[in-house]
Structure 1
Amino acid sequence: MSPEELLAARDRVVPDVVAGGLRVLFCGINPSLMTAATGHHFAHPGNRFWPVLHRSGFTPRQLKPSEQDQLPGYGLGITNVVARATARADELDTEEFREGGRILSAKVEELGPRWLAVVGVTAYRTAFGDRRARIGPQERTIGGARVWALPNPSGLNAHWTVSTMAEEYARLLAAVTPGR
């Protein structure tokens, strides 16, 4: 992918991968330029979402970003807090996050997933005005969906490894499918 192609993807919106009644709707912060250029969520080679999703037990094998349309078959989907693509999440302002939280709430009410998993606790805090939120299950429900804040799988999030993220995602999976 050329630098020009990536720059041309700025502000594009990437369609959600959703269906009604999902077990878990994963919610990213916003699409990267690579995601917008390819049309595939979590497409940047440094993003660890797909390996973590598999290692945690959500998928039987590691899917490629181009295989994202298989997710609803596993009861999973992907959306974002903010729809527009940027080079970095810090290009988004507080009002965009808050508006994204309102739009996300409406989307969750319409789609009715059992769980909303926001991948990025800082984005969750900003979008929903919950400054004390921590990684893990939240008190809040949205449209009947329970909410879980997960570590951001971006390669820029050096505090978490693939293994430690997979452990946290597996905690969510255990809550989604008790007695598994």
Structure 2
Amino acid sequence: MSPDLSAARGKLLPDVLGPGLDVVFCGINPGLYSAATGHHFARPGNRFWPALHRGGFTPRVFAAAEQDELLGLGLGITNLVARATARADELTAEELRAGAVRLAEMAAEHRPEVVAVVGITAYRTAFGRKKAVVGAQEELLADARLWVLPNPSGLNAHYQLPDLGDAFAELRESLGR
């Protein structure tokens, strides 16, 4: 049975965070499907969970409902903007920039090694880096290294799943573990 998506508009999705994580993955904002289910990257067709596995972060492809198991692997999830929308283009540049400030506060509080923003266009807007590219960024966020990954949405035709897996693997390999 499909969740009621209309009731999810504007709903907030709790972060999956803890102190001292290796990587906190930062989505743009929850989609309506994710907000309705209460799980990050939950929409069928979103390739976050398969990319996470292909990148070597998880021993198998996790279901979105298993998101809390990431904490035991040193991983977390948050979003630039907390409110759920049908599409990321419903967000304003001001919301994205405010999300960058909130993300810096989260990084200072939880002290992850890396904050990985999942979505280059949102990153460019939120951080005012018009020419940013996927991969490691020069600046830090609090004391965390800052990384940009491609958006794993099924709507992102620029990256197929093997390419996403490679991008996630590059981040994992940078951890030196």
Q: Which TM-score band applies after superposition, normalised by the shorter structure? A: over 0.9
Any idea what the Cα deviations from partners look like across 1:87-115, whole Å, max 9, x if unmatched?
A: 00000010010111111111111110000
How do 1:46-125 residues align onto structure 2 when only pairs under 5 Å count? 46-125=45-124
Unaligned runs of 5+ residues in structure 2 are: none
* Per-residue deviation, 1:2: 4.5
Whole-angstrom CA distance in 2 between matches of 1:49 and 1:10: 21
* Secondary structure of 2:5's aligned partner: helix
Aligned residues: 177
Match of 2:132 in 1: 133
CA distance in 2 between partners of 1:45 and 1:159 (Å): 18
Give the secondary structure class of the aligned counterpart of 1:167: helix
d(CA) in 2 for partners of 1:98 and 1:168? 24
The alignment's TM-score, normalised by the length of structure 2, stands at 0.98
> What is the one-letter code of the residue matched to 1:10?
R
Q: Which runs of 5+ in 1 are unaligned?
A: none
The separation in 2 between residues aligned to 1:29 and 1:70, in whole angstroms, is 21
How much does 1:143 deviate? 1.1
Q: 2:15 maps to which residue?
A: 16
Runs of 4+ in 1 over 4 A off after TM superposition: none
Instruction: Tell me how far 1:132 sits from its aligned partner.
Output: 1.1
SS for the counterpart of 2:136 is strand
Distance 1:2 1:44 in 2: 11
Structure 1 counterpart SS, 2:140: strand
Report the identity percentage: 59
1:162 aligns with 2:168: no
CA–CA separation in structure 2 for the residues paired with 1:175 and 1:24: 11
Q: Please give the alpha-carbon distance, in whole angstroms, between the structure 2 residues aligned to 1:100 and 1:55.
A: 28
Q: Which amino acid in 1 is paired with 2:21?
A: L
